Structure 1
Amino acid sequence: MTKTLRALALAGVLTLGGIAPALAGDMILHGGPIYTGETRVEALVVKDGKVAFAGPLADARKVVAHAQDIDLKGAAAFPGLVDAHAHLMGIGFREMTLNLEGSASIVELQAQLKAWNAAHPGAEPLSGRGWIETHWPEKRFPTRADLDAVVPDRPVVLTRADGHALVANSKMLALAGVTRDTVAPAGGQILKDVAGEPTGMLVDNAKSLVSAKIPPPTDAQMREAARLAVNLYASRGWTGMHSVSVAAKDVAILNDMAAAGTLPIRVDNFMDLRDAGDLLAKGPYADPTGMVRVDGIKLYMDGALGSRGAALLAPYNDAEGTGLILTPPDVIAGALDKARAAHAQIAIHAIGDRGNRLVLDAYEKAFNDNPAGLAAARWRIEHAQIISPEDKPRFAKLGVIASMQPSHAIGDLFFAPARLGEARLKEAYAWHDLWDSGAHMAAGTDAPVEKGDPLIEFYAATYRHDLKGYAGADWGLDETLTRPEALSMLTRGSAYAVFREKDLGDLTPGKAADISVFSADLMTVPFAQIPTAHAVMTIVGGKIVYDARGK
């Protein structure tokens, strides 16, 4: 059993034989604050997997006989929180490979790499992910020389936390045939030193030069990654996830888990374009259990801000260039036309202000014969991170959903001022501006880029300080959301973003009994206590899929 699996077993997610059996049946929840949305009630009745009653405890006991009595003992219940943007398989593989999250320096990264190599001997390429250089004392990207110093005789690829850049050692570059004469593919960069030699850093589409040389995971590894990811998410209080950049094989694995009754959370999928054939042929569809759905297509307009791949309208404040366009305009336009014909959703990654404008323009053009149809299609922009002032009102006007990740701000704002400059920083992470404009908003994590913790997202959206309580003078604290607004983004917003608001998003009678229970009342506790709380129970469709009571 891996370290992660053992931890999940101890936390109540797993038994030694696999997922703990989901406990189902009628139940009455009481003994702590219960929020049906913005409304707080004393008790909640669950019957046949749905909410049957919300109100006084005395009345709740009259609704159903012989129900399981769940005393929350002060814990707080909320509508099921749904991560509106995550990479399911990436979350699982983060737990199975070298996890560099939190590396404090290049020296520490080297030590972690050396130890992992020693513990996992072999000749096959070694992979890791999660480093981010913005806090490092060295104040630079790692290089192939840094990796060569500890692992010179085995290919190594270490991906940056945002997934938009990687560093490879000399052995990996040689295996991939990357030299000083290699031309970067469109939408990619090969960083070079003053002598013109590759440093080992490959950005965005250039990553494929080495990733193509890494053997694909086996079926068994993929199934383990899926199990790890969904069990981890249930243990954090999530009742669902919108998984993006999904392969057809990923969906098949989830379908198998749902059929076997081992999928604890709901998963909505946005496919890679190359794996969207079934979707484009028959439109959105679901597995027989309804736990797995295929909703749309995920595309990339630009790169990430940290690796300077985000497409900007003006050059970066701290470097030359305006970023990268990752997908050719004709490919995007063709995908939009096909998605519209199939009644499928589109979700496009856009971080820079130029990237966001290009997506808004493309969406508007795709529906130029029927502008109202765009709002009805509920197409999305993933991240919507930096938006020029003239483009902010277009989200509400066009009906485009802003699918955002609050935790990006409390991490990115250590380097975003340098990348953007003071004036343009005001365009970034504009949650309050978009909310006030009337835009539809959904909140997610972008895990494994971020940890994937709903409590961190809620804290970031409402407080906008880092996890140590620090906020710089230029961090835009006026862009915070109220607690009810943040809860709505994680519940109603996520449901609306996949056409599920009739069944999910709040705990009014008749809706699915998807419930997230936390040790703290997120609506009232001091901000500092929000990220230190934990999930107590996760209920999906009236079934207890995670239970940490008494642990």
Structure 2
Amino acid sequence: MFIRLKNLLSFFVIAATVSCQKKEFNADLLIKNAKIYTVDSAFTIADAIVVSNGKIAAVGSADSLEKNYMAKQVIDAGGKAIYPGFIDAHTHFYQYGMGLQEAHLEGTQSWNEIIDSVSAFGKRNPEGWIIGRGWDQNDWKVKQYPTKAKLDSLFPVRPVMLQRIDGHAAIVNQAALNIANIKPDQKIAGGQIETVNGKLTGILVDNAVGLVRHKMPQPTEQMVQEAFADAQRNCFAVGLTTVDDCGLPYTLINPIAELQHKGLLKMRIYVMLSDAPENYEYLFKRGAYKTPRLNVRAFKVYADGALGSRGACLLKPYADRKGWNGFLLSSQQHFADVAAKIAEKGFQMCTHAIGDSANRVILNTYAKVLKGKNDRRWRIEHAQIVNPQDVKLFGEYNVIPSIQPTHATSDMYWAGQRLGAERLKTAYAYKNLMKQNGWLPLGTDFPVENINPLYTFYAATERKDLKGFPVAGFQKENALDRTEALRGITIWAAKANFEEKEKGSIEKGKFADFVMLDQDIMKIKGSEIPKVKVLKTYINGEKVYEKK
């Protein structure tokens, strides 16, 4: 009898153990006591989330979820706010990573300060080209382009190339000009080679920059790997889980895929290949490339340059340069040809357009191909200055205005000088653009702007710089509300990439990409938003960043 009883007790212990083991393995992670902004269609707020096999298994109340799930890890969020992983709809992710290995010129207040920085960088890095980026003459007391004289004296043999913050202009020294075989008064379509009194100043604008860039040595495999690693580390720290990398060569697709396969690159990347014959040939032959972390189905085309370097193409002359309208970077026929073949092959066309003339040209080019309502989700990147007569074309042809709110708060100090008061009134008109289709994606354009998506959220809603200027906000009538701004850096950004069914909101079946913040950006004072910190970032339910 005793043996039978002992065996029976053993049976129940084993059965209970097996039962517990089964429960333990029906989820990987449960987070409770949180304020979870799901950003679903109803903008539901929950207090718990369950993750299993890298995806959202359930969202709801902790009481309900704890009854149905036994997770390997349970986290009490302590009431902190959780949002879908932030998506930046317009970046230069790879270029940003490479830039972290170059001379940093952001925030410099004079040409002399740049010379000092470049000189110090050259001493620390004694071999090869000296490359830097980030200067902006609009921030200087003397708001004029510099000349290469000091660079020539410091580096008579070693080539130097320093790009403006927007990447649409650069100053190079004579050594670099010699390598590119650039001569005084040389002309180039869609660009400028500045010549004064028969001598090169070293200033190159738009397509002219490419003459030197194409002569620069290609980065090594190790440099590429380090660039991606550095970029993703910084992006995870600000809550980014997906980035749109705008304008890559096809030769980077395999390295990206390999790094992701090895687990070295965990960032999800939506790639737009640049406007080049070899890139069209590559994607047209093989078709769209899609994995859970990499999506290649779009092309990035450039209509014009930037407003800060006066390369943006305007309908009427610049207010601060008589008779100068800027220029298109390619012929209108080129844009028409490219649009036709991209449409024929079923890919997405995303075109950089800053000036009102460039926007009109591209909108009309799109209209001829799209022929009315559609779901091709063709995009205009930036859409900064749009003539009021042309705004309706975004809605009529379902063209997506892909905007970067921090451009408005960076440009507002001098944009009026370029455009004049009347034209400025309808520039950076993000609310008006959003109304055309009822949604729009938001991005930063980093490294042109800071990588932090919370700065995007702040600029979109408050229309102020980080110092709180101007007090009333810059053209506040075009601010987005907080719900719109949050959608812009989550579900609407996913939608712009045809990815809204797999990411962009915290819903059952989607990737477990989410971010926990130390404050609730939907409730705090607007002035406090830029101070908010990311506590944790998750991709596929894996914690890829935690604030120390």
* TM > 0.5 fold call: yes
How far did 1:49 drift? 2.1
Match of 1:339 among 323, 326, 342: 342
Matched, 1:126 2:126: no
The structure 2 residue matched to 1:302, chosen from 291, 301, 304, is: 304
Report what 2:359 is aligned to.
356
Q: How many angstroms apart in 1 are the aligned matches of 2:156 and 2:45?
A: 59
Q: Please give the secondary structure, in 2, of the residue aligned with 1:459.
A: helix
- 2:215 is aligned to 213
1:474: how far off?
Answer: 8.6
Q: 1:454 deviation in Å?
A: 0.7
User: 2:386, 2:340 → 1: CA distance?
Assistant: 25
In structure 2, the residue matched to 1:330 is 333
**Structure 2 unaligned runs (5+)?**
1-25
Counterpart CA distance in 2 for 1:516 and 1:312 is 40
Q: Which residue in the other structure is 1:55 paired with?
A: 60
CA distance in 1 between partners of 2:199 and 2:426 (Å): 36
Q: What is the SS of the residue equivalent to 1:157?
A: strand
Alignment match of 1:28 (pick from 26, 30, 35)? 30
Aligned residue pairs total 517
SS at match of 1:96: coil
1:25 Cα offset (Å): 6.2
1:9-67, Cα deviation, whole Å (9 max, x unpaired): xxxxxxxxxxxxxxx96212233321101322221222232222222221121231134
Q: Select between 43-52 and 454-463 the one with higher mean Cα deviation.
A: 43-52
Query: Contact 1:387 / 1:427 at 8 angstroms: preserved in 2?
Result: yes
User: Residues 189 and 103 (structure 1 numbering): CA distance in 2 closer, same or farther, change over 3 Å?
Assistant: same
What is the deviation of 1:175? Answer: 3.0
Unpaired runs of at least 5, structure 1: 1-23
Q: Which has the larger radius of gyration?
A: 2
Q: Could you tell me which residue of structure 1 aligns to residue 195 of structure 2? A: 192
**Deviation digits for residues 61-81 of structure 1 (CA, Å, limit 9, x no counterpart):** 123113411222343210111
Listed one character per residue, the Cα deviations across residues 162-218 of structure 1 (whole Å, up to 9, x for unaligned) are 00000012332233332324x22100011233x232211100001122223221212
1:460-512 deviation line (CA, Å, top 9, x unaligned): 11111111111287931211111100001111111111111111121122222
Are 1:407 and 2:410 counterparts? no
CA contact (8 A) 1:383 1:402 kept: yes
User: Match of 1:486, SS?
Assistant: helix
In the alignment, is the contact (CA less than 8 A) between 1:463 and 1:477 conserved in 2? yes
Distance 1:204 1:509 in 2: 46
Equivalent pair of 2:332/2:361 in contact (CA under 8 Å): no
Please name the residue that 1:140 is paired with.
Answer: 144
Q: Does 1:488 align with 2:487?
A: yes
Once residues 66 and 286 of structure 1 are traced to their aligned partners in structure 2, the CA distance between those partners, rounded to angstroms, is 31
Once the 2 structures are TM-superposed, how far is the Cα of residue 412 of structure 1 from its aligned partner? 1.0
**Cα distance, 1:312 vs. partner?**
0.6
Matches within 5 A, 1:534-545: 534-545=533-544
Counterpart position of 2:83: 78
The one of 257, 265, 268 aligned to 2:267: 265
1:240 to 215, 239, 242: 242
1:163 counterpart (167, 177, 184): 167
Task: Show the counterpart of 1:19.
Answer: none
- Aligned-pair distance for 1:149? 4.9
CA distance, structure 1, for counterparts of residue 183 and residue 510 of structure 2:
58
For the 8 Å contact 1:311–1:353, the answer to whether it is kept is yes
Task: Say whether 1:446 aligns with 2:456.
Answer: no
Please state if 1:92 is matched with 2:97.
Answer: yes
Task: Calculate the aligned-residue CA RMSD, in Å.
Answer: 1.8
Aligned to 1:319: 321
Q: Check whether the contact 1:231–1:264 (CA below 8 A) recurs between aligned residues.
A: no
Cα pair 2:93 2:245 within 8 Å, conserved: yes
3-state DSSP of counterpart to 2:381: strand
Which of 523-532 and 406-415 deviates more?
A: 523-532
Cα pair distance change 1:148/1:280, threshold 3 Å: same
8 Å CA contact retained: 1:298, 1:346 = yes
Q: Secondary structure at the match of 1:531?
A: helix
- Taking the aligned partners of 2:392 and 2:515, their CA distance within structure 1 comes to 33
Equivalent pair of 1:396/1:440 in contact (CA under 8 Å): no
Judge which range, 520-529 or 84-93, deviates more: 520-529
Residues 91 and 443, structure 2, Cα contact 8 Å, conserved in 1: yes
Give the Cα separation in 1 of the matches to 2:387 and 2:487: 25
Q: Please tell me whether the aligned partners of residues 158 and 166 of structure 1 are also in contact (alpha carbons under 8 angstroms).
A: yes
Q: Does 1:178 align with 2:182?
A: yes
Distance in 2 (CA, whole Å) between partners of 1:43 and 1:512 is 16
Alpha-carbon shift at residue 439 of structure 1 (Å): 4.5
| Structure 2 partner of 1:285 | 289
Distance 1:88 1:401 in 2: 21
| TM-score, normalised via structure 2 length | 0.91
Which is worse superposed, 535-544 or 356-365? 535-544
Aligned partners of 1:131, 1:75: CA distance in 2, in Å? 38
8 Å contact 1:106–1:146 — kept in the other structure?
no
The 1:197/1:475 distance shift into structure 2, 3 A limit, reads farther
Output the CA distance in 2 between the equivalents of 1:441 and 1:143.
40
Distance 2:215 2:263 in 1: 36
SS in 2 for 1:166: strand
1:311·1:352 contact (CA, 8 Å) conserved in 2? Answer: yes
**Contact conserved, 2:195 with 2:201, CA < 8 A, in 1?**
yes
The one-character-per-residue Cα deviations of 1:372-414 (angstroms, maximum 9, x if unpaired) are 3xx2111111111111111112112210111111111111111
1:269 is paired with a residue whose SS is strand
Q: Could you tell me which residue of structure 1 aligns to residue 10 of structure 2?
A: none
Runs of 4+ in structure 1 off by over 6 angstroms are none
Q: 1:516 to 1:322 in 2, by over 3 A?
A: same
Q: Distance in 2 between matches of 1:501 and 1:392?
A: 25
TM-score with structure 1 length normalisation?
0.90
Q: Distance in 2 between matches of 1:252 and 1:180?
A: 40
Residue 188 of structure 1 aligns to which amino acid in structure 2? G
Percent identical? 38
Counterpart of 2:520 in structure 1 is 521
Q: Which amino acid aligns with 2:333?
A: D
- Structure 2 CA distance for partners of 1:67 and 1:520, relative to 1, 3 Å: same
- Give the C-alpha shift of residue 153 in structure 1: 4.1
What is the SS of the residue equivalent to 2:357? helix
- Give yes or no for contact 2:89–2:443 (8 Å, CA) kept in 1: yes
DSSP 3-state at the match of 1:441: coil
* Contact 1:280–1:338 (8 Å) recurs in 2: no
Q: Secondary structure at the match of 1:529?
A: helix
Deviation of the 1:299 alpha carbon:
0.5
Shift in Å at residue 110 of structure 1? 1.3
Contact 1:234 1:264 in 2 (8 A): no
Task: Tell me how far apart the structure 2 counterparts of residues 89 and 522 of structure 1 sit (CA, whole Å).
Answer: 29
Instruction: Tell me the secondary structure at the aligned position of residue 530 of structure 1.
Output: helix
8 Å CA contact 2:37, 2:45 repeated in 1: yes
How much does 1:310 deviate? 0.6
Q: Is the 8 A contact 1:113 1:150 kept in 2?
A: no
**2: CA distance, partners of 1:381 / 1:25:** 42
Query: Quick one: distance in 2 between partners of 1:416 and 1:283?
Result: 41
